[in-house]
Amino acid sequence: MNRQKKIKQLLKAHAKKASAKLAPKNKPKYICKADRAKLAAQGDQDSGALPES
C-alpha cells in the first residue's frame, strides 16, 4: 500500500508539473530599474515636445 501510494503521488506530481508548463504565462516580463528610468525619461521628453504648439 505504501509503495503504491508513493508511486501514485510521484505520477501526480509529474502530471501537475507538465500541465503547469503548458499553461499560458500571464506574468509580464521583468524590466530592471535602470531601463524603467530610461523609459520614463524618454516619456518625459516625448510629452514635453507635444505641448509646444
pLDDT per residue as tens, the chain (53 positions): 799 999 999 999 999 999 999 888 888 889 999 999 999 999 888 776 555 44
Kindly write down the DSSP assignment for every residue of 8-44, as one continuous string.
HHHHHHHHHHHHHHHSPP-SPPP--HHHHHHHHHHHH
User: Domain residues of the chain, as ranges?
Assistant: 2-52
Give the pLDDT confidence score for residue 48 in this predicted structure. Answer: 65
Grid coordinates of 19: 500541465
Give the pLDDT confidence score for residue 38 in this predicted structure. Answer: 94
Q: Which residues contact 8 (CB under 8 A, 6 or more apart)?
A: none
